[in-house]
Amino acid sequence: MRQHSIEQYYLYLLVSPQLAFVKQYCFLLSQHTGLVYLDVSIYQMIGNIQFFSVALMKHYVLKNLLCKFQWVGVFWILVSVFIGGSSALLVSRMSGNITDGSVTAIDTLVGVALVVAGDFLNALQVVIEEKLMGLDVPVPPLLLIGVQGLWGVVLSIVVMFPVG
């Protein structure tokens, strides 16, 4: 096992908090705002788009070739996301919003788009984490997750709790 000096981690600690802050803020904003316009079950089903995004980024960005059976799985995940998104649009007239009793198709489409954007950011984070841990001077996984978790807690306490 190689030993790394503390200076090697300073670069990560200087760059990662800003990246983690931006990612966590955008993720929390898109996911929670999208959840306002969607039922939780549809939100969960559409959230699987993250696996599709990770597969594409691993294949084209990290150059990790996926096997055929993995692509078949990704295809079925994409089918389930399409069914979930279209069902959200179909039932948008039947379900009501808590405040005024109406959810339009545009509201539902915005909710779906925000959830998909948040899941894309999550997938991007997974690919960046994999890239950082595969460098010549790999970032320790606990440090990587710890910095991201710290920003998640700070943003939840400072931004999300007062808004909610």
Domain ranges across the chain: 20-155
What integer pLDDT is reported at residue 79 of this predicted model?
Answer: 93
Q: Which amino acid is at 144?
A: L
Q: Residue 10 phi/psi, 5° resolution?
A: -60, -40
The answer to whether 98 and 32 are in contact (CB under 8 A) is: no
pTM above the 0.75 mark?
Answer: no
pLDDT in tens, 75-101: 999 998 888 888 877 776 565 544 555
Tell which residue, 81, 88, 31, has the closest CA to residue 51. 81
Burial readout 75-88 (b: 16 or more C-beta within 10 A, e: otherwise): eebeeebeebbeeb
pLDDT in tens, 22-38: 767 777 777 777 778 78
User: What is the C-alpha separation between 44 and 39, in angstroms, rounded?
Assistant: 9
